[in-house]
Amino acid sequence: MKNIFFLFLFLGSIKAEAQYAVRLIITEVATRKQDDIYLSGNFNNWNPKDENYKLKPFGGSRKSIVIKDMASGTYAFKFTRGTFEKVECAADGRDIDDRILEVITDVSKEFTIAGWKDDYPERPKTYTASPQVHIIDTAFNMPQLNRKRRIWVYLPKGYATSSKIYPVLYMNDGQNLFNEKTAAFGEWGVDECLDTLQKKLDKECIVVGIDHGGEKRTTEYNPYDNAQYGKGEGKQYVDFLANTLKPYIDSKYHTKKGPENTFIAGSSLGGVISLYAVMQYPGVFGSAGVLSPAFWIAPTIYSDAERFSTTAMPKFYLYAGSKESATMVTDMQRMSAIFQKKQQYILRSVVNPLGQHNEASWRQEFADFYKWLMN
C-alpha cells in the first residue's frame, strides 16, 4: 500500500509538471507572402522579432512553428513580420484582439492572416490627454544612463490656485498612461480616471509618467543581466528616479516628499522595476503597484525579496490576470507569499479571472489600485 501511495504521488507530480508540444501553422497570408513571420506573445515578453519564435516553411506556401515543452495554461499571441508596426490585422486594417491558446494537451492549430498593419495607411490617433496633463520635457536628462526621455505630469484640478501639497505617484511606460495618440496598444486613461475618482474620494495625487526607452525598455526595467535580453540597467534606472527625477519634481511642484506619500507603479517589466525601486529605496518609495509582473524575465528578484528588510512599512499591490501567461498567477502568488512572512508590510494580492496582459486590463484595474493606495 505504501508503494502504491508513492506511485500516486509520483504520477501526480508528473501531471502537475506536464509540458506539451504546440504546433501553429499559417496556411494562408493575404499579402507579403515571402516575408519572414514571427510569433509574439506573453511567453516571450511580446518580443516581435524573437529568432527563437520565427516560423519555418512547412510544405507549399505554409509556415509553421513547433514549441516544445510548453507548460499548460492560457497564452495570448499575435503574428508579426518583425515589428508591431507590421503586426497582423483584419482584412480592412482594423486591429484584432490577441489570439488565445489554451494548452492542456499537445496542440496543433491552423491560422490565416487576413492582413498586415503596414498595408494600410496609418489612421491618425486622437489626442486624448486631459488639460491636467502636461509634458515636463521631451528630452529630460538621465545622467545615470546617459539618455534622455519624455516626462509627463498630471496635476489635480485646482492645483494652480491651491496651496495644498500632494502625494506623488511615479508610473512607468508613460506613453501609455494619458494619451491615445502616443499609446501603441491603447491608453490606461489615468487622467480621466483620476478626474473622477479624486472628486469622489477627496484624495488627490500628482502623477509623473516616464516614457519607456523603446528598444531599451527590457534592459532598463530589468535590474539583472539576462542571457536573452542583455545586461540589466534597472539599478541605474531606479537611481535616476530616486536621485534625479524625484528631487526635480519636489523642487518644481507642491509635493509631500516622504516615502509614505511617494509611490511607484507599472505593468509587466514596469511592475518588476516598481517592486525593485521600493526594495532599493524604501526611504524614497513607500508603495508599489506591481501589475502583471514579468518575474520570469527577472527571477533573481525572488531571492532579493527574501533578503529585503526595512524598518519602514512598505505597501505592495500585486495583481495578475488568469488569461495571461501560464505562470503569471503562480509567479505573483509566490512573491505575495514572500511578503506575507514580513509582518510589517502591507500587502494586497488580486487575481482577475478574465485579466489579459494588455492595457485594457490594467486600465480596468487602475481605479481599484488607486483606491487602495489612497486608503
* DSSP one-letter string for 10-66: HHHHHHHT-EEEEEEEEEEESS-TTS--EEEETTTTT-TT-GGGB-EE-STT-EEEE
Q: What is the pLDDT of residue 2?
A: 40
Order across the sheet with 346-352: list the strands.
133-142, 147-154, 206-210, 168-171, 262-267, 287-291, 315-321, 346-352
Q: What is the pLDDT of residue 17?
A: 58
Q: What is the per-residue DSSP string for 91-125?
A: TTS---PPEEEEESS-EEEEEEE-EEGGGSPPPPP
Q: What is the pLDDT of residue 45?
A: 80
* Cα-Cα end-to-end distance for the chain: 55
Residue 363's identity, in one-letter code, is: R
Q: What is the pLDDT of residue 139?
A: 98
Enter the CATH code of domain 133-374.
Answer: 3.40.50.1820
Give residue-wise pLDDT tens across range 166-206.
999 999 999 999 999 999 889 999 999 999 998 899 999 99
Q: What is the pLDDT of residue 14?
A: 40
CA distance 327 to 202: 38
Closest by Cα among 285, 276, 278 to 233: 276
Q: What is the block-wise mean pLDDT of the chain (375 residues), using blocks of 10 residues? A: 39 58 94 94 88 92 92 89 93 88 92 93 85 97 98 96 96 97 93 92 96 95 91 98 98 97 98 98 98 95 96 95 89 96 92 92 97 94
Does the fold of domain 133-374 match that of domain 16-119?
A: no
Q: What is the pLDDT of residue 234?
A: 98
| 169 within 8 A of 207, measured Cβ to Cβ | yes
CA dist 249 → 167, 256, 266, 327, 335 (Å): 11, 11, 19, 37, 31
Q: Are strands 262-267 and 133-142 parallel, antiparallel or unpaired?
A: unpaired
Per-domain residue ranges of the chain: 16-119, 133-374
Q: What is the pLDDT of residue 4?
A: 41
Going by C-beta distance under 8 Å and a sequence separation of 6 or more, which residues neighbour residue 230?
218, 219
Which CATH architecture is the domain 16-119 placed in? Sandwich (2.60)
pTM for this model (two decimals): 0.78
Average pLDDT score, the chain: 92
